[in-house]
């Protein structure tokens, strides 16, 4: 897509890096602009003036010496006098002539050379040559006089102020210190947000969330408090639901037991057999409700060997006479509620065995998730029913009249458990022609 998407893909993802960017960008821009203005205006101006004054001094000395050419003692006196006062190294070679030498200049050297030449062209009005040694920090300017060559050596500091470096260094240093302080403060600001995110994620996966400290900026505190309240409300709701279901199931058992006793006393009346069957069904259902209710209980999460668990479940199925094949990657572990997850796996496999003849199980991991595939060769579930079968008490038409006699809670319980672990459960087509149940769990 367009520019927006591209910019987005370049920008950092974490809040920390983003805030850092928000902070660094203006500092960096400020630095660039200040540096630019400083060098473009102030520094150029300064070096121009410095160069001009040195060049004027040289012009003055050149004039003086030219007036006393042919009188070496007087030339010497002038050279000594100006050299001392102006801190220049002055020498004069009578009869010599200027020979220009070409040499490479560094970037700094080129700047100094340019500034000097600009001034020299207008002020000295004689042939001249400039030699610059940046390392040794001196500049040598030779001027062709009528009768010889005047050479003036000046220290570099007379031509450009080193305060420019110091200014830049200060600016850089101060921004670094500012940045460091900002990073320190920002990390403290972001810590509570990160903690909140981790807590919410863990809670979503049904894992233990230790008490979350309400800390940080006002908005973060508000979010943390809202999260804590939400957690409490959800926990309470689950508890209430569990308690109600358990209570109802339990209360129903007593009259059912009484009815069973009364049926026994009725003897072999033809109506009695049908009623007995109904009572047996009701007992089975109540047992299932109780199981459903218990599934939500506060079982603690712990790191569990899922490979071993799956092998156990399959062994049980084999013992019951089922035809099972499997490819189980060994030693796959995850943080789960072991009893609940084992019930989930049992439900799924018993479904496959109930509605199909054979079952093939795969369990493997791809570093981030545990993947479980349960394939059977049964009739499968039509596409339009794949959502409904997860609703409690829903049973597909075909299974209604079967002797299998389920309640319709197997899949809802399995889904509840997987979702509470932060995983997903999907119904697909198996390569064997039946149903494939695809479960993914975070590690």
Contact footprint for ligand ATP (CB under 6 A): 288, 347, 351-352, 355-356, 376, 378-381, 389, 394-396, 399, 406-412, 434-435
| Residue number, 406 or 423, with CB nearest to Mg ion | 406
- What's the min distance (Å) between Cβ of 347 and ligand ATP? 6
| Residue number, 160 or 289, with CB nearest to ligand ATP | 289
What secondary structure, in 3-state letters, does the chain show?
A: CCHHHHHHHHCCCCHHHHHHHHHHHHHHHHHHHHHHHHHHHHHHHHHHHHHHHHHHHHHHHHHHHHHCCCCHHHHHHHHHHHHHHHCCEEEEEECCCCCCCCCCCCHHHHHHHHHHHHHHHHHCCCCEEEEEECCCCEEEEEEECCCEEEEEEEEHHHCCCCHHHHHHHHHHHHHHHHHHHHHHHHHHHHHHHHHHHHHHHHHHCCCCCCCCCCCCCHHHHHHHHHHHHHHHHHHHHHHHHHHHHHHHHHHHHHHHHHHHHHHHHHCCCHHHHHHHHHHHHHHHHHHHHHHHHHHCCCCCCEEEEHHHHHHHHHHHHHHCCCEEEEEECCCCEEEECHHHHHHHHHHHHHHHHHHCCEEEEEEEECCCEEEEEEEECCCCCCHHHCCHHHCCCCCCHHHHCCCCCCCCCHHHHHHHHHHHCCCEEEEEECCCCCEEEEEEEEC
Q: Which does 109 bind (CB under 5 to 8 A by kind): Mg ion, ligand ATP, none?
A: none
| Residue number, 192 or 406, with CB nearest to Mg ion | 406
| Residue number, 254 or 401, with CB nearest to ligand ATP | 401
295 touches Mg ion by CB under 5 A: no
Spatial distance between the Cα atoms of 1 and 250, rounded to a whole number of angstroms:
60
- What's the min distance (Å) between Cβ of 394 and ligand ATP? 6
| Residue number, 27 or 279, with CB nearest to ligand ATP | 279
- What's the min distance (Å) between Cβ of 289 and ligand ATP? 10
Q: Which does 207 bind (CB under 5 to 8 A by kind): ligand ATP, Mg ion, none?
A: none
CB atoms within 10 A of CB 397: 8
- The residue with its CB nearest to Mg ion is 410
Phi, psi angle pair for 141, to nearest 5°: -120, 120
Q: Which does 399 bind (CB under 5 to 8 A by kind): ligand ATP, Mg ion, none?
A: ligand ATP
End-to-end CA distance of the chain: 34
| Residue number, 395 or 421, with CB nearest to ligand ATP | 395
Nearest Cα neighbor of 440 from 342, 352, 364, 326 is 364
410 touches Mg ion by CB under 5 A: yes
Q: Which does 79 bind (CB under 5 to 8 A by kind): Mg ion, ligand ATP, none?
A: none
- What's the min distance (Å) between Cβ of 292 and Mg ion? 12
| Residue number, 285 or 441, with CB nearest to ligand ATP | 285
- What's the min distance (Å) between Cβ of 353 and ligand ATP? 8
Q: How many CA atoms lie within 13 A of 318 on its CB side?
A: 11
| Residue number, 167 or 394, with CB nearest to Mg ion | 394
351 touches Mg ion by CB under 5 A: yes
- What's the min distance (Å) between Cβ of 284 and ligand ATP? 8
- What's the min distance (Å) between Cβ of 205 and Mg ion? 25
380 touches Mg ion by CB under 5 A: no
- What's the min distance (Å) between Cβ of 267 and ligand ATP? 31
- What's the min distance (Å) between Cβ of 394 and Mg ion? 11
Spatial distance between the Cα atoms of 367 and 334, rounded to a whole number of angstroms:
11
| Residue number, 154 or 351, with CB nearest to ligand ATP | 351
- What's the min distance (Å) between Cβ of 373 and ligand ATP? 13
| Residue number, 322 or 381, with CB nearest to ligand ATP | 381
Spatial distance between the Cα atoms of 263 and 275, rounded to a whole number of angstroms:
8
Given the rule CB under 5 A, which of 55-63, 69-77, 346-354, 415-423 is the region that contacts Mg ion?
346-354
Torsion of CA 226, 231, 234, 236, to 10 degrees: -110
Q: Which does 378 bind (CB under 5 to 8 A by kind): ligand ATP, Mg ion, none?
A: ligand ATP
| Residue number, 192 or 378, with CB nearest to ligand ATP | 378
415 touches Mg ion by CB under 5 A: no
Q: Which does 295 bind (CB under 5 to 8 A by kind): Mg ion, ligand ATP, none?
A: none
Given the rule CB under 5 A, which of 13-21, 139-147, 308-316, 408-416 is the region that contacts Mg ion?
408-416
Q: Which residues bind Mg ion (CB under 5 A)?
A: 351, 406, 410
């Amino acid at each position: 897509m367009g520019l927006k998407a591209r910019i987005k893909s370049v920008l950092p993802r974490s809040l920390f890096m983003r805030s850092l960017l928000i902070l660094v960008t203006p500092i960096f821009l400020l630095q660039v602009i200040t540096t630019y203005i400083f060098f473009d205006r102030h520094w150029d101006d300064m070096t121009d003036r410095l160069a001009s004054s040195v060049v004027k001094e040289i012009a003055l000395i050149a004039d003086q010496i030219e007036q006393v050419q042919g009188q070496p003692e007087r030339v010497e006196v002038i050279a000594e006098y100006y050299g001392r006062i102006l801190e220049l190294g002055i020498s004069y070679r009578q009869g010599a002539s200027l020979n220009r030498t070409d040499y490479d200049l560094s970037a700094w050297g080129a700047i100094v050379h340019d500034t000097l030449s600009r001034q020299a062209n207008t002020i000295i009005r004689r042939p001249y040559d400039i030699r610059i040694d940046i390392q040794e920090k001196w500049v040598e300017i030779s001027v062709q006089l009528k009768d010889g060559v005047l050479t003036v050596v000046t220290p570099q500091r007379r031509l450009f102020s080193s305060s420019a470096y110091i200014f830049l260094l200060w600016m850089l240093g101060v921004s670094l210190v500012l940045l460091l302080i900002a990073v320190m403060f920002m990390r403290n600001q972001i810590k509570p947000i990160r903690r909140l995110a981790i807590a919410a994620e863990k809670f979503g996966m049904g894992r233990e969330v230790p008490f979350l400290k309400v800390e940080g900026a006002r908005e973060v505190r508000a979010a943390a408090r809202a999260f804590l309240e939400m957690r409490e409300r959800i926990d309470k709701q689950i508890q209430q639901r569990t308690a109600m279901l358990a209570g109802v199931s339990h209360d129903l058992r007593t009259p059912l037991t009484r009815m069973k006793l009364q049926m026994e006393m009725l003897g072999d009346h033809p109506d009695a057999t049908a009623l007995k069957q109904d009572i047996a069904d009701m007992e089975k259902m109540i047992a299932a409700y109780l199981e459903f209710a218990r599934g939500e209980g506060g079982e603690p999460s712990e790191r569990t060997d899922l490979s071993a668990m799956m092998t156990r479940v399959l062994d049980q199925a084999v013992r019951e006479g089922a035809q099972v094949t499997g490819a189980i990657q060994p030693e796959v572990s995850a943080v789960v509620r072991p009893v609940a997850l084992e019930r989930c796996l049992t439900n799924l496999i018993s479904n496959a065995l109930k509605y199909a003849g054979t079952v093939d199980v795969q369990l493997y991991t791809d570093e981030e998730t545990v993947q479980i595939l349960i394939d059977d060769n049964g009739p499968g579930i039509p596409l339009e029913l794949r959502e409904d079968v997860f609703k409690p008490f829903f049973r597909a038409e075909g299974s209604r009249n079967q002797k299998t006699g389920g309640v319709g809670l197997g899949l809802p319980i399995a889904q509840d458990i997987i979702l509470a672990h932060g995983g997903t459960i999907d119904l697909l087509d198996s390569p064997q022609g039946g149903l494939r149940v695809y479960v993914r769990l975070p590690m």
